[in-house]
Structure 1
């Protein structure tokens, strides 16, 4: 195919939205998926992409999404998130189920559905947005950190399983990025979410999108396996310099 295509999940806001813009600037036709279709349609009109409804926790939704994509060169597994900040002793099992369904099984569903098209492209790329939480554990975050560890292991295993196939795999693990992430984690509590980023010179969605764009622009023989990126004010998952 003459037009290279990219697929971005969780594209209705934050890193996914910024990544869709970045890849469109590089000349990709971008398929964007998320549940908030109204936002997707506005973004698609802006970048000349294709908006498709997608719920990564639903098998039928993922199947319909993948069927609507004729061919794919790049897949950015960005859909995910956190819910709650409770210690293990008070863990909310529904929050855990949501995090595992979205981060782990969601990534699995979409990757599995699009993998044949990525291989068939002759030069495929899978970028999975994990987190520093895929490398560390922190108090009250076991639901999210365990899900991100599992998502990362899924991605890293695929790197070995696809050895010899024309597909590259890159894991990007961001630290603190000021998006809607904490707003979702705290059930829409804007005041509590704002405190997470208070006094820090945080990363923003465009910072991560630019890294995705750099990865996508490398020649086919270059595989950037893992990229960990944090703001200068962050040393570890829960350790920050605040002003």
Structure 2
């Protein structure tokens, strides 16, 4: 029987690639995000290449009301979610704390922390009732270290680390696995979003080195999800070969 996976932030990058790869492994997938047309296009791609079902849910994960409405109205055949990929997240701005844009702070906190909590709170009770499930949170190397001007973004990913550990303990007796993936430099829309569409500045982040690609992280997520039931991968920290930590890289 096909298992059901829900992937947040599936309209681009890691989320999109993860949905494709999980579908390739036989999961029926629920793909979520704010950009309806992108979800529709991804659903068509999955259906044309994989023999699985796809459900699209368009909502803003920052809105508790929208999350509640989407999950509360899932068709019965989509309610037994076995795998939750909490991928939705972003960085907004890169400034010293004393110069920071409070709107950027709120966007990151609402998406990276509160959004993850909203969707998890809706899905976890079903997993508990079935005594089965796996949650994989997409964190970051920024959840391990703090770098200059990264302040609030790093704080949100440190929060994801703590929430992941708390989930693991709280769900342990129910046999539910909780994992995280912590990427370093991945060339996706991440920097374009952070720098608010400044293509030159975004491209410079990856200049002179071979960054990770979305498929690298998706492959890791699929591998974590495919471990035998008695194995839980707590966390994977994955960087490009040319990256030593948050701020140390070798560029040609």
TM range (shorter): over 0.9
The residue number in structure 1 matching 2:176 is 167
Instruction: Report the count of equivalent residues.
Output: 242
Q: Kindly report the root-mean-square deviation, in angstroms, between the aligned alpha carbons of the 2 structures.
A: 1.0
Q: Aligned pair 1:16/2:15, yes or no?
A: yes
CA–CA distance in structure 1, aligned partners of residues 13 and 43 of structure 2: 15
Q: Aligned pair 1:61/2:74, yes or no?
A: no
The residue number in structure 2 matching 1:37 is 36
Q: Aligned pair 1:97/2:134, yes or no?
A: no
Runs of 4+ in 1 over 3 A off after TM superposition: none
The residue number in structure 2 matching 1:205 is 214
User: How far apart are 1:45 and its partner, in Å?
Assistant: 1.7
Equivalent runs, 1:65-144 vs 2, <5 Å: 65-67=70-72, 68=74, 69-144=78-153
Q: Which sections of structure 2, spanning at least 5 residues, go unmatched?
A: 48-53
SS at 1:164 equivalent: helix
CA–CA distance in structure 2, aligned partners of residues 182 and 232 of structure 1: 19
> Quick check: 1:72–1:121 contact (8 Å CA) kept in 2?
no
CA–CA distance in structure 2, aligned partners of residues 66 and 240 of structure 1: 42
User: How far apart are 1:143 and its partner, in Å?
Assistant: 1.3
Equivalent runs, 1:158-197 vs 2, <5 Å: 158-197=167-206
- Give the TM-score, by structure 2 length: 0.94
- Give the TM-score, by structure 1 length: 0.97
User: How far apart are 1:120 and its partner, in Å?
Assistant: 3.5
CA–CA distance in structure 2, aligned partners of residues 24 and 121 of structure 1: 23
Distance 1:17 1:121, change over 3 A: farther
SS at 1:162 equivalent: helix
> Quick check: 1:14–1:205 contact (8 Å CA) kept in 2?
yes
CA–CA distance in structure 2, aligned partners of residues 221 and 123 of structure 1: 12
User: How far apart are 1:216 and its partner, in Å?
Assistant: 1.1
